[in-house]
Structure 1
Amino acid sequence: MSKAAAIDIASVTKVYGSTTAVHAISLKIPAGSYCCLLGPSGCGKSTTLRMIAGHESISDGDVRLGNQVVTDLPPARRGTSMMFQSYALFPHLDVTDNVAFSLKMKGVAREERRRRALEMLQLVHMEPYASRRPAQLSGGQQQRVALARALITDPQALLLDEPLSALDPFLKVKMRAELKRLQASLGITFVHVTHSQEEAMALADVIVVMNAGRIEQAAAPRDVFERPATAFVARFMGDHNVISGRLAGSDERGVSIAPAGGGLFSAIGAPQDADAPIDIAVRTDRVRIGPASAPGLGFTGVVENVEYRGSSVKLTVAGAGVDDFTAIVSDTDFFAAPVKVGDAAPLAWNREDAIVLGRLAS
């Protein structure tokens, strides 16, 4: 295989008419890493992937693959290969000829290209299906064929546009493991677009969270999960409550904020601008039912919803100027002192489980 290449996106912008889809983003993806571009629909992640691939022109900025600026190169000369969401297999060709198609376009002799195609099919465990047509394959099998076809060009980076979206939940989990295995064994750079937080957490070395054409955070999965950079990341990843308010006080341990509807909350960190609203995040799985150990580390609210999840119970509580506050408590703790909808429930957490969030410059 080709040597893996780092990808350097330098102040890349994409404009469609009067709409800016991607706002001057900069990102370095290390060689040989598995990078997931994560975000809601319309955030610019697929546009970014297509600009790396050369399937979308760049309005401003540059893309570098390894030591080469590829901004103006056609897709076939970039050293990348793209696997599309639809798989785009040719229905009239068998699996082997589908995989070998790009080699045929390059003029590689039939015997050689079929030999290399069978090697690729072996890599993705599809050699027993080499003579079948795409219509005779399941969705997961079609995806493996599309992967083999993308890899046969010996790319330095493989680009995947929501490759698991068409699969059922069980198969998604299975194919996640397969993608991780392939990336580790081949050692090439993978850039994978997804809107699934679970998928990104399971696969990535680097998660890039995008929103409205901008990068909100680019970090290792654990950092994104435990220390979200912004309120958007905290909300999108779904593992933190976000509380907004005005600065009520600060010391060497952190800040206190006051939401508009009352209440007072403490968090570790310093605000970017003491005169602006401040966002803090509280881990949902670190919240417990019970009185706070210190002021600012809990509140009493009204239970609005209770969801039993087997090993845990999800509570939604409102109060102290906070709406839709989520607590994920263990089933043991919950049933030791259960609460129901309409009850007043005290919630509490430790100081280290509440952090000050940053804000993107507008």
Structure 2
Amino acid sequence: MSKAAEIDIASVSKVYGATTAVHAISLKIPAGSYCCFLGPSGCGKTSTLRMIAGHESISSGDIRLGNTVVTDFPPAKRGTAMMFQSYALFPHLDLIDNVAFSLKMKGVGKDERRAKALEMLKLMQMEAYATRRPAQLSGGQQQRVALARALITDPEALLLDEPLSALDPFLKIRMRAELKKLQKTLGITFVHVTHSQEEAMALADMIVVMNDGKIEQAAAPRQVFERPATAFVARFMGDHNVLSGRVVSAEGGVITLKVPEGQTFSVRGKGRKVGEPVDIGIRTDRVRLEAPAEKTLGFHGVVSNIEYRGASVKITAIGAGSDDFTVIASDGDYFAKPVSIGDAVSLSWTLEDAVLLGRP
């Protein structure tokens, strides 16, 4: 396999007519890492992937692969390979010819390209199916063939556009493990677009959260989970509640904010002035269904929804300006003191469970 390449995206924008899909983003993806672009539909993540691949022109800025600026290179000259969401296999060709297709286009001899295709199918544990056609395969098997076809060109970076979205939940989890293993085995850079938080957390060394054509945060999964950079990241990842208000005091490394409903809350942090708007995030699994005591913060709310999840129970409450303040309680804690929809509840957490969120 060829060496992995660092991908350097420098002030890259994509404009379609009057619409800007990607706003001057800059990002370095380390060589040999597994990077997931994550965000809602229309946030610019697929446009960014297609610009790295060369399937989409860049309106302004540059993309560098290793030491080479590839901004104006056609896809075949970039050292990247793309695996599409639809797999795009040729129905009339057997698996060997499907996998060998790009080598055929490059004029590689029949015996050589078929031998290399078989080697790739072996890597994917698909050699037993080499003479079959795509229609005779399951979704997971078709995916392995599409991967083999993308990897046969020895790319420095493999680009994956929502590769698991067509698979059933059990197969998704299995293919996740296989993708991670494959990336570690090959050692090349993987860039993977998804709208699934769980998928990104499971696979990535680096998660890039996009919203509205901009990067909100690019960091290791644990940092994105524990210290979301903005209110959008906190809400999108789903593991923090967000409370918004205005700063009423900022001293001794603690900022106190007041929400429109009148309650005050504190968070550790600096650099905020009295009167300015501020957002804080509170981990959903750290909130307790008990009244705030001397050392804790909290408020009184009303239960609006309850979801049983097996090992945990998700309780949603309304209060402090939030209509979906969430508590993730262990099943043991919840069933020891259950609550019902419409009940008044007390919610509390410690100062350490809150994070000061930035503004994009």
TM-score category of the 2 structures, normalised to the smaller one = over 0.9
Give 1:320 deviation, angstroms.
Answer: 3.1
- The CA distance in 2 between the partners of 1:309 and 1:328, in whole Å, is 10
Q: Deviations over 1:58-88 (max 9, x none)?
A: 0000000000000001111000000001100
Give 1:187 deviation, angstroms.
Answer: 0.1
Give 1:273 deviation, angstroms.
Answer: 5.5
Q: For the Cα contact (< 8 Å) 1:256–1:296, is it kept in 2?
A: no
Give 1:345 deviation, angstroms.
Answer: 1.0
Q: Match of 1:250?
A: 250
Q: For the Cα contact (< 8 Å) 2:247–2:272, is it kept in 1?
A: no
Q: For the Cα contact (< 8 Å) 2:248–2:275, is it kept in 1?
A: no
Equivalent position amino acid for 1:239 in 2: D
Q: Match of 1:216?
A: 216
Q: Match of 2:226?
A: 226
Q: Match of 2:326?
A: 326
- The CA distance in 1 between the partners of 2:266 and 2:293, in whole Å, is 12
- The CA distance in 2 between the partners of 1:99 and 1:294, in whole Å, is 66
Equivalent position amino acid for 2:153 in 1: T
3-state DSSP class of the match of 1:289? coil
Distance 1:90 1:273, change over 3 A: farther
3-state DSSP class of the match of 1:121? helix
- The CA distance in 2 between the partners of 1:35 and 1:271, in whole Å, is 31
Q: For the Cα contact (< 8 Å) 1:207–1:218, is it kept in 2?
A: yes
- The CA distance in 1 between the partners of 2:88 and 2:260, in whole Å, is 52
Q: Match of 1:14?
A: 14
Q: Match of 1:90?
A: 90
Q: For the Cα contact (< 8 Å) 2:296–2:349, is it kept in 1?
A: no
3-state DSSP class of the match of 2:270? coil
Q: Deviations over 1:255-296 (max 9, x none)?
A: 111111221111122355644310000000001111223477
Residue 202 in structure 1 maps to residue 202 in structure 2: yes
Q: For the Cα contact (< 8 Å) 1:271–1:356, is it kept in 2?
A: no
- The CA distance in 2 between the partners of 1:3 and 1:125, in whole Å, is 23
Judge which range, 270-279 or 143-152, deviates more: 270-279
Give 5+ residue unaligned stretches, structure 1.
Answer: none
Q: Deviations over 1:156-197 (max 9, x none)?
A: 000000000111111100000010010000000000000000
3-state DSSP class of the match of 2:210? strand
Correspondences of 1:1-362 after superposition (within 5 Å) = 1-270=1-270, 272=272, 274-294=274-294, 297-360=297-360
TM-score, normalised to structure 2, is: 0.98
Give 5+ residue unaligned stretches, structure 2.
Answer: none
Q: For the Cα contact (< 8 Å) 1:279–1:357, is it kept in 2?
A: yes
Equivalent position amino acid for 2:356 in 1: V
- The CA distance in 2 between the partners of 1:273 and 1:221, in whole Å, is 30
Equivalent position amino acid for 2:359 in 1: R
Distance 1:22 1:96, change over 3 A: same
Aligned length: 360
- The CA distance in 2 between the partners of 1:320 and 1:232, in whole Å, is 18
Q: Deviations over 1:226-273 (max 9, x none)?
A: 000000000000000000001121222421111112211111223556
Equivalent position amino acid for 2:50 in 1: R
- The CA distance in 2 between the partners of 1:74 and 1:182, in whole Å, is 26
Output the aligned Cα RMSD. 1.1
- The CA distance in 2 between the partners of 1:280 and 1:94, in whole Å, is 56
TM-score, normalised to structure 1, is: 0.97
Q: For the Cα contact (< 8 Å) 2:243–2:320, is it kept in 1?
A: no
Q: For the Cα contact (< 8 Å) 2:225–2:237, is it kept in 1?
A: yes
